[in-house]
């Protein structure tokens, strides 16, 4: 499927949790399929930390392939011949949506003058896009990792606008360990001399070394030990290429360096700081007197909570916590833990059990909503 960089500019002010008002608001987004006459077949897909809106077609800016092409498209599980699929770049991102790299009212890149954002702010921006598209109620909201946080925020803050919700490999709040890994990444970026106190755009530099290290550290959390061992083990690089020193002697070292170098070509360093901080701030129960079940009491749709057995970034216990809270709130919820050794990134890979669960959930939801 082909993609084009679509950007919606709204001159309305977007109120943020910080008290700031962002204006104008730009949203980079993509749509696939056709909205039916009743406007009842819209599926909103929420992307993860380093994702973008190009869920079904290649990124026209970077040339990278779609990140969920195995699930979204004609005849796929999220069938664009049946559903109108919407995916937007999150607020604070760097693929068309307002973020630190955007040009501010003074004609200069925002940099660190961009207001602090939260997951709730990201959902506010998505809601503004959905309003613009003339959609009052979404058939389904689906997302993995940080995308799952957005799904949870949607049904907590706008329950009447969602018919079905599928948070995948996610959590209602970050653990101390996740916050710690994010802080290591942020410090790596800020320790790079080319970061220039966040003003690197104005000074013509890019903190590529720091951002690359941040990506390397984060990428480790997306994989399981079993997957790393199966793919790399302790295998060395080709003997002719090994210097036995501080070069990439092991294959896993070379792989991580490749991931880091590829990442800096498509992501903004300040966006990484802002978005990881938004994830760390996220605590859904905090807005409901510490009771997570209260966050879901107004949601009358159905939900499916998916986790992966080897995910130590967002372990199955996090999903079980969400499921129990939904049950306590009277939500019609199913839970599915996929047995796999692929770790957190399993939701992006070929996992037949996960795909079957999604297909079954969408079919049941479509029948429930008369779609």
Whether 145 is catalytic is: yes
Whether 311 is catalytic is: yes
CB 144 within 8 A of CB 28: no
Per 3-state DSSP, the chain is made up of helix, strand and coil in percentages (nearest 5) of: 40, 15, 45
Which tokens go with 180? Answer: 């710690």
Out of 311, 313, 318, 319, which one is annotated catalytic? 311
Out of 310, 344, 345, 365, which one is annotated catalytic? 344
Tell me the C-alpha distance between 184 and 41, whole Å. 41
Residues 6+ apart with CB under 8 A from 156: 284, 287, 288, 295, 296, 299
DSSP letters, 126-173, are: HHHHHHHTT-SSBSEEEEETHHHHHHHHHHHH-GGGBSEEEEES--SB
CB 29 within 8 A of CB 6: yes
DSSP letters, 234-252, are: TPBPPTTT--SSSS--BHH
CB 292 within 8 A of CB 327: no
Phi and psi at 106, nearest 5°, equal -85, 5
Out of 40, 102, 145, 365, which one is annotated catalytic? 145
Looking at the annotation, which residues are catalytic?
A: 145, 311, 344
């Amino acid at each position: 499927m082909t993609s084009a960089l679509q950007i919606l500019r709204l001159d309305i002010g977007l109120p943020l949790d910080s008290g700031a008002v962002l204006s104008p608001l730009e949203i980079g987004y993509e749509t696939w399929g056709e909205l039916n006459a009743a406007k009842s077949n819209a599926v909103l897909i929420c992307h993860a930390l380093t994702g973008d809106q190009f869920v079904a077609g290649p990124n026209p800016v970077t040339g990278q392939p779609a990140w969920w092409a195995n699930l979204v498209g004609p005849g796929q599980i999220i069938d664009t011949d049946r559903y109108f699929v919407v995916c937007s770049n999150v607020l604070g991102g760097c693929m068309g949506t307002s973020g630190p790299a955007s040009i501010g009212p003074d004609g200069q890149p925002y940099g660190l003058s961009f207001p602090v954002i939260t997951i709730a702010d990201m959902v506010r921006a998505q809601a503004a896009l959905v309003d613009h598209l003339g959609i009052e109620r979404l058939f389904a909201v689906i997302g993995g990792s940080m995308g799952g946080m957005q799904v949870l925020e949607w049904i907590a803050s706008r329950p009447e606008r969602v018919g079905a919700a599928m948070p995948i490999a996610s959590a209602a709040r970050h653990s101390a360990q996740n916050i710690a890994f994010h802080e290591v990444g942020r410090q790596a970026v800020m320790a790079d001399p080319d970061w220039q106190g966040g003003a690197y755009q104005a000074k013509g530099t890019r903190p590529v070394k720091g951002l690359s290290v941040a990506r390397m550290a984060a990428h480790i959390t997306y994989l399981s030990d079993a997957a790393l061992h199966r793919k790399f083990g302790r295998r060395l690089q080709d003997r002719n290429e090994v210097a036995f020193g501080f070069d990439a002697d092991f294959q896993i070292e070379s792989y991580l360096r490749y991931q880091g170098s590829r990442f800096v070509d498509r992501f903004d360093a300040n966006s990484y700081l802002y978005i990881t901080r938004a994830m760390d701030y996220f605590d859904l129960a905090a807005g409901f007197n510490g009771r997570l079940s209260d966050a879901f009491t107004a949601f009358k749709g159905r939900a499916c909570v998916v986790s992966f057995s080897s995910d130590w970034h967002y372990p199955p216990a996090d999903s079980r916590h969400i499921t129990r809270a939904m049950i306590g709130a009277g939500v019609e919820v199913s839970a599915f833990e996929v047995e796999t050794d692929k770790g957190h990134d399993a939701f992006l890979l070929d996992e037949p059990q996960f795909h079957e669960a999604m297909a079954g959930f969408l079919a049941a939801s479509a029948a429930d909503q008369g779609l």
